Amino acid sequence: MITKNDELPLEWEHFKHVDYGCKIPDFRILQGDCMERLKEIEDNSVDAIFADPPYFLSNGGISVQSGKQVCVDKGEWDKGGTPEYIYKFNRRWLELCRPKLKENGTIWISGTHHNIHVVMRCLQELGYKVLNTITWQKTDPPPNLSCKYFNFSTELIIWARKSQKVTHKFNYETMKQLNGGTQMTDVWRIPAVGSWEKLQGKHPTQKPLRLLYRIILASTNEGDTILDPFAGSSTTGIAANLLERKFIGIEQESQFADLSLRRRQALEDAQARDRLYDKMRENAQEATILVNHMREKDRELAMQLGMTYLRAGDSKGSLLVKQGFERLGYICLHTNGDHPQLFGLTKKGFQIWTAEALREKGFTAENAPYYAVLHFDPARPVLFDKKINLHMRKYTQVAHIHRYSDFITIK
């Protein structure tokens, strides 16, 4: 595994300035100016583009990083020019990108007020159809030291498609599940990039994998090709490959092209890859599943009535206040870890019933005075593709909460 730039094997060095991806077919980095190298990419070959272009905000301002005051300047490539220059720059690369997209392809562009309004104008002039403007709200923004403005805590991401007429891919159901079972909105609360995604080195404006995870899942399918003309450390490529998509990135700085390659090489280690994949999928809004044991007799009745129940509290604390309960979308019934079946809840949340009320319905309910009752549709079992071992738990009969993606592959 390659860990440092100077440990790159000779053949990588040799190909570096030609095509970094020669050894990994699903990950190609072209080093150079995207205004030139975009021309080499075949027309109508790309399913989606994510572009994180210069925001042109390196103007000597200050911010805070790890508790220390730092200059916000990112590099020469991010220094502002005249409004005319910023317009021409954005118009040119957006013009070059459009023919690369397939007819149903889409493009995502991130920015702040420094560049995003110009990008919007160019998209409209060039014939793209704007679909959404996502507000990425950072859950942990650094403080604003000047105290002269509201604190900057958001970035905007425009989503547009190539064609005015041809419809685009949108994995609506997947987004709904990532959003606790309800329609996902255009405000995304995602933390800024973490140290766990900088193990191979740092890029000054690296995007979080969790952001690219959502973008890629929303607009592409397995096997699709994703292009990033301002690849930086290739967060787009890493997320794409973790999700079984192909990646082409263009990056002008050799130090960042090297970093991209090191990040990709790190995925060759299966354990590191799995760790990164799991971290990337961590999502505070994902729908959850209540896994609930029911005795055979009670389960038969539950299937007739479309309701299940669990103790509202016990000596170890109450399940009702466990994290994830507020996002329950499903119930998984099992009997001593056997015969799991999954159902969607028909009512959000739960009701509190007395043991007596449950016994009147015919249930056993004999261990506690109060129970949480959940309603589901027994006629519509939900298929799941992942094998889960419900015997692994010490107390198989104690209800617990799983993530939706523990049962169903999100791809």
Interface residues with ligand SAM (CB under 6 A) are: 33-35, 52, 54, 77, 203, 205-207, 230, 232-233, 235, 250-253, 256
Query: Least distance to ligand SAM from the beta carbon of 370, Å?
Result: 50
Instruction: State which residue has the least CB distance to ligand SAM.
Output: 232
Query: Least distance to ligand SAM from the beta carbon of 191, Å?
Result: 14
Query: Least distance to ligand SAM from the beta carbon of 250, Å?
Result: 5
Query: Least distance to ligand SAM from the beta carbon of 144, Å?
Result: 21
Query: Least distance to ligand SAM from the beta carbon of 237, Å?
Result: 9
Query: Least distance to ligand SAM from the beta carbon of 93, Å?
Result: 7
Residue type, 264: R
Q: Among residues 93 and 128, whose Cβ is nearest to ligand SAM?
A: 93
- Measure the CA–CA gap between 262 and 3, rounded to whole angstroms: 6
DSSP 351-370: EEEEHHHHHHHT----S-SE
Q: Among residues 198 and 375, whose Cβ is nearest to ligand SAM?
A: 198
Q: Among residues 34 and 267, whose Cβ is nearest to ligand SAM?
A: 34
279 touches 212 (CB < 8 A): no
Query: Least distance to ligand SAM from the beta carbon of 201, Å?
Result: 10
Query: Least distance to ligand SAM from the beta carbon of 368, Å?
Result: 51
233 touches 190 (CB < 8 A): no
Cα dist from 318 to 325, 345, 370, whole Å: 11, 21, 11
Query: Least distance to ligand SAM from the beta carbon of 88, Å?
Result: 12
Specify burial of residue 368 (Cβ count, 10 A radius: 0-12, 13-18, 19+).
Answer: middle
- Measure the CA–CA gap between 246 and 21, rounded to whole angstroms: 11
Q: Among residues 108 and 371, whose Cβ is nearest to ligand SAM?
A: 108
Q: Among residues 156 and 365, whose Cβ is nearest to ligand SAM?
A: 156
Beta partners for 345? Answer: 376
- Measure the CA–CA gap between 217 and 194, rounded to whole angstroms: 20
Q: Among residues 34 and 294, whose Cβ is nearest to ligand SAM?
A: 34
Measured at the CA of 259, the angle between CA 19 and CA 101, to 5 degrees, comes to 50
Which strand (E) or helix (H) includes residue 258?
helix 254-266
What's 332's DSSP letter?
E
Q: Among residues 41 and 250, whose Cβ is nearest to ligand SAM?
A: 250
Q: Among residues 47 and 228, whose Cβ is nearest to ligand SAM?
A: 228
Contacts of 105 (CB under 8 A, 6+ apart): 46, 47, 48, 49, 161, 162, 168
Specify burial of residue 305 (Cβ count, 10 A radius: 0-12, 13-18, 19+).
Answer: middle
Token digits of residue 135? 């507000």
Q: Among residues 105 and 111, whose Cβ is nearest to ligand SAM?
A: 111
The HSE-up count of residue 272 (CA atoms within 13 Å, CB side) is 17
Beta partners for 30? Answer: 250
Q: Among residues 205 and 225, whose Cβ is nearest to ligand SAM?
A: 205
Query: Least distance to ligand SAM from the beta carbon of 124, Å?
Result: 22
- Measure the CA–CA gap between 377 and 385, rounded to whole angstroms: 20
